[in-house]
């Protein structure tokens, strides 16, 4: 599987899980379906962006940093739109980005090297 | 009278056995090894300017000559990357039959595995051995002598199945050699030979004879600490009754591939606990990522109280 596909798959799966953990916050339980949906979209988007980055950069440390940053950025958008629960949204979002970054580099197939004559 | 030492006698014997290549395009370079039927030499092909292996009988023997010729003919019809290609067949001035083939530089499987080889590498090599054997079966040829000494591992990890001297061409009514070797002769190597081979005769042998030898080879390659599903695979492959074995080599290879991939194998009925462990091992990456997320989420939950 290529890195973008791994990113989307892992980001989406962790997004679902991230949304489901809102169940442990009693005041969020009523809107759990919306949270899971939004969190999944966020995970898929983060996964695709991180996968694209990993494809270009192919560096574990840089992809971990970028993944954490993208996860935090997308989660911040949601947290600021809600105007509350900043840490509870941003920290797990960053964790999703970090783990997605790790998975894309570790398990995604690196793009094939272009042959020397390919561009000639 | 001067008595010759044992060393001198064996050197003289080797010189006497050395093939006279004067009327051929080949020049002797070195001795590669010797087997039951004859000796294999490394020779220089003066026409094509390359080194090839030349197999020749040690002494003229019409019966074995026919077998050597037939071995060359069998090899010539098996064009596969896992089977050494034959270049030429002929007779020396003294009448001995020879054939030349690709000179394979590498190690015999038994020597290769005497060095440390990871379990996964052993399985990979085994699956590479099944490929040419399955191909030969598809061409109607049984090997009948599969054992570690008859498998070569090349410098780049390529695997070649060698020594097709005991091969049997199925449904080959014209095979004079098949008759020469005798319908009651016991051919093969103890430990890797199927019960029907041990019973003697080549009539009635089929692909499951080689399935047996491959099962024995798998047991030898995997060693005594192999997990139960793999043990079940070779037990099924080496079942005394042919009907209890895998129907053919691809079926055996498919089960070994499933084992290597962490999937359930047809030869082994696993309990619920072992099944759960296998599934967990197979999906350990996904499980690891989810556990890492949950651990991180639990820390955040403890830190923020939410």
* DSSP structure string for B83-135: BPPEEEEEE-TTS-EEEEEE---EEEHHHHHHS---HHHHHHHHHHHHHHHHH
> Which is nearest to A36 in space by CA: A6, A56, A12, A58?
A12
Distance from A119 to chain B by nearest Cα, in Å?
Answer: 31
Query: H/E element holding B289?
Result: helix B284-304
Taking the C-alpha atoms of residue B281 and residue B275, their distance in angstroms, rounded to an integer, is 10
Contacts of B305 in chain A (CB under 8 A): none
Q: Would you call B10 helix, strand, or coil by DSSP?
A: helix
Instruction: Tell me if A14 and B286 make a contact (CB, 8 A cut-off).
Output: no
**Residue B86 and residue B72: Cα distance in Å, rounded?**
7
Q: pLDDT 10s per residue in chain B (306 long)?
A: 567 677 766 666 665 667 888 888 999 999 888 766 788 899 999 999 999 999 988 877 777 888 888 888 888 889 999 999 999 988 888 888 899 999 988 889 999 988 877 889 999 999 999 999 999 999 999 999 999 999 999 888 899 998 888 888 886 554 544 444 444 455 667 789 899 888 876 667 899 999 999 999 999 999 888 999 999 999 999 999 999 999 999 999 999 999 998 889 999 988 899 889 988 888 888 888 889 888 888 888 887 766
The residue behind tokens 């006279």 is: B20
The encoded tokens of residue B232 equal: 């079940």
- B194-229 burial code (b ≥16 CB/10 A, e <16): bebbeeeebeebebbbbbbbbbbbbbbbbeeebeeb
Measured in angstroms, the CA of A94 and the nearest CA of chain B are apart by 10
A24 touches A32 (CB < 8 A):
no
Overall pTM surpassing 0.90 (yes/no): no
**Residues 18-47 (A) with a CB less than 8 A from some CB of B:** 18, 21, 24-25
How much of chain A exceeds pLDDT 90, in percent?
Answer: 62
Distance of CA A17 to the CA centre of its chain: 12
- Model-level ipTM above the cut of 0.85: no
Q: How many residues does chain B have?
A: 306
For the beta carbon of residue B243, count every other beta carbon within 10 angstroms.
7
């Amino acid at each position: 599987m290529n890195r973008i596909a791994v990113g989307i798959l892992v980001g989406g799966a962790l997004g679902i899980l991230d949304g489901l953990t809102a169940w442990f916050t009693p005041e969020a339980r009523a809107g759990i379906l919306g949270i899971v949906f939004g969190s999944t979209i966020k995970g898929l988007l983060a996964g695709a962006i991180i996968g694209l980055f990993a494809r270009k950069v192919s560096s574990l440390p840089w992809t971990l940093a970028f993944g954490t940053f993208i996860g935090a950025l997308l989660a911040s958008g949601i947290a600021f739109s809600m105007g509350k629960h900043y840490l509870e949204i941003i920290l797990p979002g960053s964790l999703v980005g970090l783990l997605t970054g790790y998975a894309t580099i570790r398990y995604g197939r690196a793009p094939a090297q272009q042959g020397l004559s390919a561009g000639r | 009278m001067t008595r010759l030492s044992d060393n001198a006698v064996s050197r003289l014997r080797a010189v006497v056995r050395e093939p006279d290549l004067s009327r051929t395009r080949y020049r002797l370079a070195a001795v590669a090894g010797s087997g039951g039927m004859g000796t294999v030499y490394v020779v220089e092909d003066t026409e094509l300017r390359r080194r090839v292996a030349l197999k020749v009988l040690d002494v003229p023997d019409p019966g074995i000559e026919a077998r050597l010729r037939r071995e060359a003919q069998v090899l010539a019809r098996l064009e596969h990357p896992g089977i050494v290609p034959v270049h030429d067949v002929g007779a020396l001035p003294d009448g001995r039959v020879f054939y030349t083939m690709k000179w394979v530089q590498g190690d015999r499987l038994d020597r290769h595995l005497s060095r440390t080889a990871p379990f996964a590498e052993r399985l990979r090599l085994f699956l590479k051995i099944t490929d040419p054997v399955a191909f030969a079966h598809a061409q109607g040829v049984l090997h009948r002598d599969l054992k570690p000494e008859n498998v070569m591992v090349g410098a780049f990890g390529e695997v070649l199945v060698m020594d097709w001297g005991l091969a049997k061409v199925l449904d080959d009514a014209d095979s004079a050699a098949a008759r020469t070797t005798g319908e009651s002769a016991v051919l093969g190597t103890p430990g890797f030979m199927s019960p029907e081979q041990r019973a003697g005769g080549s009539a009635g042998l089929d692909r499951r004879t080689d399935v047996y030898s491959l099962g024995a080879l798998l047991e030898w390659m995997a060693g005594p600490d192999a997990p139960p599903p793999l043990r079940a695979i070779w037990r099924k492959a080496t079942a005394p009754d042919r009907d209890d074995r895998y129907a053919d080599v691809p079926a055996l290879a498919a089960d070994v591939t499933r084992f290597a991939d962490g999937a359930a194998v047809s030869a082994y009925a696993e309990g619920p606990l072992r099944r759960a462990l296998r599934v967990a091992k197979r999906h350990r990456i996904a499980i690891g990522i989810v556990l890492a997320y949950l651990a991180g989420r639990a820390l955040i939950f403890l830190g923020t109280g939410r």
